[in-house]
Chain A
Amino acid sequence: GAGVSQTPSNKVTEKGKYVELRCDPISGHTALYWYRQSLGQGPEFLIYFQGTGAADDSGLPNDRFFAVRPEGSVSTLKIQRTERGDSAVYLCASSMTSGGDEQFFGPGTRLTVL
């Protein structure tokens, strides 16, 4: 089937606004991950879902960031009161299970906060 898809591909917003970034994982994949990639750096882990629950959210930078996966498939990353430092590419990945399976990455959403 199709790979991991992310929408929108680009998002420009103003400082202080609220944004939602969406991830559609590969069908049947139970594990879903969000990463953030700042310019010139490697991706940094944000949060991991196993099914509907967030099993590890230790990478979320602060309480302005929140993610959900209510039905165990699509996930939404939500950022409140955006700041210029939130500008980055947000990557989503999914894998069949959590133990050692390959993570398949989406193309990312480029977020720009003006």
Chain B
Amino acid sequence: AQSVTQPDIHITVSEGASLELRCNYSYGATPYLFWYVQSPGQGLQLLLKYFSGDTLVQGIKGFEAEFKRSQSSFNLRKPSVHWSDAAEYFCAVVISGGYNKLIFGAGTRLAVHP
């Protein structure tokens, strides 16, 4: 069965530092890949997605992610974190060719120190 692993449950970074959140998926073919952010009291918001083509995708709020087929990974990065980035981040996959039944990882909670 398809699965998504986010190895880091909780990450703390200093404001202005760079960030990388890890995501690995388990699926035979290339899935559609997504990163969502969830802030307290707010709904999930899509940061970026990968369907095909360029393996480095740009998203909103200065985030980017790189798809690496050989590592079955889709890590999220940001060069300089802002205090407002503190939230929970979810990686998700969809089986390519199917409808958007999202399979989420358990999430990584990001804390930002001033």
Contact = CB atoms under 8 A, between A and B. Distances in A.
A42 B43 contact: no
B86 to A, nearest CB: 17
B41 interface: yes
B43 A4 contact: yes
Contact of B44 (A31, A50, A56, A91): A91
A48 B90 contact: no
Contacts of A95: 100
Interface residues of B, number: 22
Interface of B: 4, 32, 36, 41-46, 49, 51, 90, 92, 99-107
29 contacts: A3-B43, A31-B100, A33-B100, A33-B102, A35-B102, A35-B104, A40-B106, A41-B106, A42-B4, A42-B90, A42-B92, A42-B104, A42-B105, A42-B107, A43-B90, A45-B101, A45-B102, A45-B103, A55-B99, A56-B101, A93-B44, A100-B51, A101-B100, A102-B46, A105-B36, A105-B43, A105-B44, A106-B43, A107-B41
B32 A100 contact: yes
Contacts, number: 61
B43 A48 contact: no
A99 B102 CA distance: 12
Contact of A102 (B49, B99, B101): B49
Interface of A: 3-4, 31, 33, 35, 40-45, 48, 50, 55-56, 91, 93, 95, 98-108
Contacts of B102: 33, 35, 43, 45, 103
Contacts of B99: 31, 48, 50, 55-56, 98-99
A27 B26 CA distance: 35
Q: Which 4 pairs between the two chains have the least Cβ-Cβ distance?
A: A42-B104, A98-B99, A105-B43, A105-B44
A83 B105 CA distance: 25
A43 B46 contact: no
